[in-house]
Amino acid sequence: MKSLAELAAIRDKMKNKVAIRDSETGTRIVVGMATCGIAAGARPVLAQFVEEVANAGLSDAITVTQTGCIGICQYEPVVEVYEAGKDKVTYVKMDVDKAKRVFAEHIQGGRIVTEYTMDNK
Amino acid sequence: MKELSLNILDVTENSVSAGAKNIEVSLIEDEKGLLTLTIGDNGCGMTPEVVKSVIDPFYTTRTTRKVGLGVPLLKMAAEQTGGSIDIKSEVGVGTTVTATFDTKSIDFTPIGDMVSTMTTLIMGAPDRDFEYIHRKPGAEVTLSTLQLREVLGDVSLGEPEIIAWIKDYLTEQYNNFGGTN
Ligand SMILES: Nc1ncnc2c1ncn2[C@@H]1O[C@H](COP(=O)(O)OP(=O)(O)O)[C@@H](O)[C@H]1O
Ligand SMILES: [Mg+2]
């Protein structure tokens, strides 16, 4: 059974690790979570990115955040990737499998998955 | 929406956008199969005109702006089971959205994954406090971020490690809940 004591232990471990989250050099993955995004399946896409970042142990370098309506409801779920010094990449009509591929190939491998990008539609 | 939990995520996001510091989400099922959903906040509130336009997007006045479909979708989900929706709101005080559902209706949308809904909300707004309760006869699931915050001190609720703990904490409670509708 999960206990608050266990939560306290996690807290202590985290306090010891110095936060070196750098918003200048870090990567930001932004998932549209307005009504249109949620209805189209954004919640599991967001959860997948969060899980990938955690599994890869990259939570200091990569943040996953939520935003409202990006204005292209017909393309939801929409995911934007911001990397320092690079143009924003907008992925459209995302799902869990596409999120896995974008994480492996783009976020970790540095190769944009053009099949899923906005300009390709 | 495919799951009621998605409507709940969407409508509760409105409370976050309204600047609420405290947000309550409650799901109470009675022995007759009546489900009452309450989403309460102490955000900026709405004027009666805005409340009307939020419930019915085709009701517009000069003063109301473009509104979304979040609340109308929840209303539809409630009404198609024979239930209803009600919004009480006061500017500067807050808003309470209450919706009722007949879970025995064939048009009842399953509640679905409330664990994901709550973790998504907390991740998106780790500086707010959420009180969550899901109760049915003989079982309940609860979460109070205020209580967790007391343990966490200045460690954010939004840290991936903390979110993972909250997810397990809720999942464990739901394992003893005996399934949801
Ligand atoms: N809990 C709330 N507190 C204050 N204002 C709200 C609340 N819920 C809804 N509103 C108002 O109603 C509008 C419409 O809500 P909604 O239909 O969900 O569309 P959206 O969130 O896309 O704007 C919001 O933009 C906001 O102005
Ligand atoms: Mg909304």
Residue A97, pLDDT above cutoff 60: yes
ipTM of the complex: 0.91
Q: Which of B17, B42, B95 to mutate to test the pocket of ligand 1 (most atoms within 8 A of CB)?
A: B17
Q: Tell if the CB–CB gap between B17 and A68 is shorter than 8 Å.
A: yes
CATH code at B4-175: 3.30.565.10
Residue A26, pLDDT above cutoff 80: yes
Q: Could you tell me the CATH superfamily of domain A18-120?
A: Glutaredoxin (3.40.30.10)
What does DSSP assign to residue A117? B
Do you find a cis peptide bond into A77, omega within 30 degrees of 0?
yes
Alpha carbons B9 and A15: distance in angstroms, whole number: 30
Shortest CA distance to B37 belongs to which of B124, B105, B136? B136
Q: Which of residues 44-63 of A touch B (CB under 8 A)?
A: 44, 46-47, 50, 53-54, 59
- Where do the domains of chain B lie? 4-175
Shortest CA distance to A41 belongs to which of B145, B120, B124, B19? B120
Alpha carbons A44 and A50: distance in angstroms, whole number: 10
Q: Is A38 in the pocket of ligand 1 (CB under 6 A)?
A: no
Residue A19, pLDDT above cutoff 70: no
**Nearest CA-CA distance, residue B148 and chain A, Å:** 8
Alpha carbons A105 and B115: distance in angstroms, whole number: 29
Nearest CA to ligand 1 atom 1: B15
Please compute the mean of the pLDDT values over residues A103-110 and round it to a whole number.
96
Please compute the mean of the pLDDT values over residues B152-178 and round it to a whole number.
93
Q: How does the average pLDDT of chain A come out, rounded?
A: 90
Residue B77, pLDDT above cutoff 90: yes
pLDDT of residue A25: 67
pTM of the model: 0.94
pLDDT of residue B123: 96
Provide the b/e sequence for B120-148 (b: ≥16 CB within 10 Å). Answer: bbbbbbbebbbbbebbbeeeebebebeeb
pLDDT bin (cut points 50, 70, 90) of residue A3 is confident
Please compute the mean of the pLDDT values over residues A78-94 and round it to a whole number.
95
Pair type for strands B94-102 and B34-41: antiparallel
